A and B are shown apart, each in its own frame.
Chain A
Amino acid sequence: MTVRRSADGRIVLEGACPIEDAEPLLQLLLAETECVVDWSRCDLAHAAIVQILLASGARMIGPPSGAFLRDHVDPALARERA
């Protein structure tokens, strides 16, 4: 599983997150009100994943390890939420 809840309650995205992770991610985010998403070990993410992150407004721990996510998606995410 590339999306899971860690022991300390954070939602962790790891490796390459495919579209199949979208549904579980959404469920995890809906389960709690104040979510923290750690994607510092995320290499790739499907657009559906990023869309959910954008809509959720969850606090992100990063930057992600994937170059494209780090250089382009993370800043875009930060800007869109600002």
Chain B
Amino acid sequence: MNEFLEQFLLESRELVEQATGDLLGLEENPQDNDRLDSAFRAFHTLKGAAGIVDFAAMGRALHAAEDVLSRLRNGQAPVSAKLVSDSLTCLDQVVQWLDAMQETGEVPTDAEAAADAIVARFADLGKAPATPSPPAASTIWADALIEKYPEPAAAARVAIRYRPDAECFFRGDDPLALMAALPGLLVLDLASGEVWPTLDALDPFACQLVLAALSTASMEAVAAHFGGRGDEIEIKPLAGVPAELTGALSVEARRLLEAQLLLLKEPTVEGAAGRMAAAGRVAANVLRHAGRPADALRIEQVAASLDALSKAIAAVLGGAAIAEAAVSEAGAAVSTQQDATARILRVDVARIDTLVKLTGELTVAKNALGYAAALAQDGADPKALASTLKDQQALFERLINELQQSVLGIRVLPLRHVFQRFPRLVRDMAAALGKSVRLVTEGDATEADKAVVESLFEPLLHLVRNALDHGVETEQDRVKAGKPPIATIHLRGARSGEHVLIEVEDDGRGVDLARVRRVAAERGVVSAEALAAMGDAEVAELIFAPGFSTASEVTNLSGRGVGMDAVRTAVGRLGGRVTLENRPALGARMRLTLPFTLMMTRLMTVEAGGQMFGIPMEAVMETVKVAHDRIVPVGAARAFVLRNRTIPLIDLAEALGEPRPVPPKVEAKVVVVSIGAELGGLEVDRLGERIDVMLKPMDGLLSGMPGIAGTTLLGDGRVLIVLDLRELLQ
């Protein structure tokens, strides 16, 4: 992708975010002229940017939205929820285009139809702001039209229905002449609005014709042709022409498609992505040429997944339309892929300057090291040499510390990056659930490591969803309970030492403890005895237990087969924890405590079974020596008592599958660690030192290893395996 386009994508995304924020603010407070101005400017700048990269369709869609916003600014129309929704839809479309451009590095060529749909939305709004747009049911006529004229329908881009006003003849209108002048007219259909009366009862000057047509012209051209007849005219884009109605494949087309299929089947070593993209593009073009734009679109949607693409092409060759399921499946794969790819990071120039300065200092330090080496070669006094080397080591330590800080500083992002996606989501989710919710975000300037910020979205989304779905009551229930009808969900961020705290708090009904108890018992999450002994706080914590989901019926928001345990797992993977504060009838607060950075970890090294391991310092409570006679077997496991508390003991070497001779030692060295609220003891052979490391997450074959969080290199070149205590102690 060229730099120009990269810059365009970067700026456009920022503008979309700005515009989204402004629109949502505007919806909340329609009188807020600053918001309106800001939204207008964002749309305007976006349109300009689209012009610079020659993306006419995007410019067209944005122009339509900008027009309407400009009417609002002039006070010609009121701010309505519909208008905000339509503007947001326009931005959604823009984001889709941007995503497509990010992937292909080119301006999408099939954007016209989508742009037409956006323009049509605003055309309705602009003409008749008071009347709602025609209901969805009104598209039945278009389907009937397609069915009636299958052949022209295959080539048509829009279906039109024109129901002239009965008085139109008096205005000098000739609906037929208007249709005759329609660009790209394929077929005309004439019918009566009602049953034709007998001739003697017919009023020759009252128009009761209904004219329908199919045209190859663009949505915009047709809309322009019928300009000023907002109520009488309905235009529907025909992007999704059913495949069975479209042209069959020619021999050449089949041959081309077969060639793509062969290409995809070849074992790929390198350039697989490029090959896939090329095959996808060729296949899509072939289909488009064959008059099957819907299939072409689907091919493009699956083109990022080798398997789906091969299947799709095979399906087309087999004479079938591509199944929608295959598309959505592949779509899911693509979206996760996109989530994984790092976005571009904007960095303050001052931070880069610091790095440049540090590089200079490190070069000087390196030269000094060369000097020391020369001294050693010349047989300098070992003591003096050692002291020189020590000085240099100290210098390096300082510089590397600074370097680490600077690099971490670059990776730092404000929480705004994830928070700003929520107002829109909450708005849509609340609307879907029929609840009134206000989202208040605080502390979105709080910074955290990029990796943390970027992994936060899913768990937070789940928490917010849960709050909306299960926590927040309906408006009536809230009024009955003496609460304000509009619920509030707080999303807060704050820095606390080396941790970042994030809270999701709602003022809903809180966790229903009685139900949690019942469900936990029903699903066997814990035994009945354990349940009976639990306090309220512990019961509330059960919602995080695997296999527990409080949703009695699966709603499309929360009930996706993943419970809150998924949140706990995801946050745990980031080295954080989730706690719940439940106030029955008043609301619930979820708090995520996350490390400020993922990169630097302070470790304690231990040796077990002849191998070095690292234990995260934050989990280590203390180290103790325990006499063997104080270790008592409990069933198959062992435990010991420390300050009146029974602590389970795990032999680290054994737990990691190392063979272990029975130790003849009198004392066991034990590292006491805490996982959540629980303590555990790890028996080791030797205790080592404390070190700061850059932890490298496991990838490839080792990523599935249980109990291991990552690896790092020791000073002597050995690999240190860092333990994941949570997994290990479970």
Interchain Cβ contacts within 8 Å, total number: 68
Q: Report which of B187, B200, B207 forms a contact with A51, defined as CB distance below 8 A.
A: B207
A50 engages B209 (CB within 8 Å): yes
A47 engages B169 (CB within 8 Å): yes
Residue numbers in B under 8 Å from A22 (CB-CB): 204-205
Distance from B636 Cβ to chain A, minimum over Cβ atoms (Å): 84
How many angstroms from the CA of A29 to the CA of B201 in the assembled complex?
A: 13
Q: Contacting chain A: which of B64-72, B117-125, B175-183?
A: B175-183
Interface string of A4-33 (1 = CB under 8 A from B): 000000000000000100110110011000
How many angstroms from the CA of A73 to the CA of B190 in the assembled complex?
A: 8
A47 engages B196 (CB within 8 Å): no
Interface residues of B in 178-202 (CB under 8 A from A): 179-180, 185, 187-192, 196-197, 199-200, 202
A47 engages B176 (CB within 8 Å): yes
Q: Report which of A29, A51, A73 forms a contact with B188, defined as CB distance below 8 A.
A: A73
Q: Report which of B180, B189, B192, B199 forms a contact with A30, defined as CB distance below 8 A.
A: B199
Residue numbers in A under 8 Å from B200 (CB-CB): 30
B196 engages A26 (CB within 8 Å): no
Distance from A64 Cβ to chain B, minimum over Cβ atoms (Å): 12
Residue numbers in B under 8 Å from A55 (CB-CB): 192, 196-197, 199, 202
How many angstroms from the CA of A29 to the CA of B202 in the assembled complex?
A: 12
Residue numbers in B under 8 Å from A29 (CB-CB): 199
Residue numbers in B under 8 Å from A44 (CB-CB): 177
> B174 an interface residue at 8 Å Cβ cutoff?
yes
> A77 an interface residue at 8 Å Cβ cutoff?
yes
> B208 an interface residue at 8 Å Cβ cutoff?
yes
| A51-B209, A79-B189 known; A68+B180 contact, CB < 8 A | yes
| A22-B204, A47-B174, A76-B190 known; A56+B185 contact, CB < 8 A | no
How many angstroms from the CA of A19 to the CA of B177 in the assembled complex?
A: 12
Residue numbers in B under 8 Å from A34 (CB-CB): none
Q: Report which of A26, A47, A72 forms a contact with B209, defined as CB distance below 8 A.
A: A47
Closest to B198 in A: A55
A48 engages B204 (CB within 8 Å): yes
B188 engages A19 (CB within 8 Å): no
Q: Report which of A46, A52, A54, A73 forms a contact with B174, defined as CB distance below 8 A.
A: A46
Residue numbers in B under 8 Å from A68 (CB-CB): 180
B189 engages A76 (CB within 8 Å): yes
**Which of B164, B176, B179, B202: most chain A Cβ within 10 A?**
B176
> A60 an interface residue at 8 Å Cβ cutoff?
no
**Which of A22, A23, A55: most chain B Cβ within 10 A?**
A55
Closest to A46 in B: B174
B199 engages A50 (CB within 8 Å): no
A45 engages B176 (CB within 8 Å): yes
Residue numbers in A under 8 Å from B169 (CB-CB): 19, 47-48
Residue numbers in A under 8 Å from B174 (CB-CB): 19, 46-47
Closest to B186 in A: A72
Query: Interface of chain B, helix or strand or loop or mixed?
Result: mixed
A26 engages B204 (CB within 8 Å): yes
Distance from A16 Cβ to chain B, minimum over Cβ atoms (Å): 10
Closest to A58 in B: B199
Q: Report which of B179, B190, B202, B207 forms a contact with A80, defined as CB distance below 8 A.
A: B190
How many angstroms from the CA of A12 to the CA of B404 in the assembled complex?
A: 95
Residue numbers in A under 8 Å from B175 (CB-CB): 47
| A55-B192, A73-B188 known; A47+B207 contact, CB < 8 A | yes
How many angstroms from the CA of A49 to the CA of B174 in the assembled complex?
A: 10
Closest to B200 in A: A30
How many angstroms from the CA of A23 to the CA of B179 in the assembled complex?
A: 23
Residue numbers in A under 8 Å from B204 (CB-CB): 22-23, 25-26, 48, 51-52
Closest to B170 in A: A19
Residue numbers in A under 8 Å from B209 (CB-CB): 47, 50-51, 54
Closest to A45 in B: B176
B189 engages A26 (CB within 8 Å): no
Closest to B172 in A: A19
B189 engages A73 (CB within 8 Å): no
Residue numbers in A under 8 Å from B199 (CB-CB): 26, 29-30, 52, 55-56
Distance from A26 Cβ to chain B, minimum over Cβ atoms (Å): 5
Closest to B195 in A: A55
How many angstroms from the CA of A26 to the CA of B199 in the assembled complex?
A: 8
Residue numbers in A under 8 Å from B191 (CB-CB): 80
B202 engages A52 (CB within 8 Å): yes
Distance from B719 Cβ to chain A, minimum over Cβ atoms (Å): 79
How many angstroms from the CA of A46 to the CA of B191 in the assembled complex?
A: 15
Distance from A31 Cβ to chain B, minimum over Cβ atoms (Å): 10
Distance from B147 Cβ to chain A, minimum over Cβ atoms (Å): 13
Distance from B123 Cβ to chain A, minimum over Cβ atoms (Å): 24
Interface string of B201-237 (1 = CB under 8 A from A): 0101101110000000000000000000000000000
How many angstroms from the CA of A68 to the CA of B207 in the assembled complex?
A: 20
Closest to A51 in B: B209
B187 engages A72 (CB within 8 Å): yes
Q: Report which of A26, A45, A50 forms a contact with B202, defined as CB distance below 8 A.
A: A26
B190 engages A54 (CB within 8 Å): yes
Distance from B616 Cβ to chain A, minimum over Cβ atoms (Å): 78
How many angstroms from the CA of A48 to the CA of B204 in the assembled complex?
A: 6
Residue numbers in A under 8 Å from B177 (CB-CB): 44, 46-47
How many angstroms from the CA of A45 to the CA of B189 in the assembled complex?
A: 16
Residue numbers in B under 8 Å from A46 (CB-CB): 174, 176-177
Q: Report which of B164, B188, B196, B202 forms a contact with A76, defined as CB distance below 8 A.
A: B188
Interface string of B517-533 (1 = CB under 8 A from A): 00000000000000000
Closest to A80 in B: B190
Distance from A21 Cβ to chain B, minimum over Cβ atoms (Å): 9
Residue numbers in B under 8 Å from A23 (CB-CB): 204
Interface residues of B in 443-494 (CB under 8 A from A): none
Residue numbers in A under 8 Å from B187 (CB-CB): 72
Interface residues of B in 23-42 (CB under 8 A from A): none
**Which of B192, B197, B204: most chain A Cβ within 10 A?**
B204
Residue numbers in B under 8 Å from A79 (CB-CB): 189
Interface string of B630-662 (1 = CB under 8 A from A): 000000000000000000000000000000000
| A48-B169, A55-B199 known; A77+B190 contact, CB < 8 A | yes
| A26-B202, A46-B176 known; A54+B192 contact, CB < 8 A | yes
Residue numbers in B under 8 Å from A72 (CB-CB): 179-180, 185, 187-188
B residues with a Cβ closer than 8 A to A are: 164, 169, 174-177, 179-180, 185, 187-192, 196-197, 199-200, 202, 204-205, 207-209
Given A44-B177, A54-B190, A76-B190, 16 extra CB contacts under 8 A: A22-B204, A23-B204, A26-B199, A29-B199, A47-B169, A48-B207, A51-B207, A52-B202, A54-B192, A54-B196, A55-B192, A55-B199, A72-B179, A72-B188, A75-B188, A80-B189
A–B complex contacts, Cβ < 8 Å, 23 sampled? A19-B174, A19-B205, A23-B204, A30-B199, A44-B177, A47-B169, A47-B209, A48-B169, A50-B190, A51-B209, A52-B199, A52-B204, A54-B192, A55-B196, A55-B199, A55-B202, A68-B180, A72-B179, A72-B188, A75-B188, A76-B188, A77-B190, A80-B191
Q: For the complex of A and B, list the 7 residue pairs with the smallest distance between their C-beta atoms, beginning with the closest.
A: A47-B176, A72-B188, A22-B204, A55-B196, A68-B180, A76-B190, A47-B175
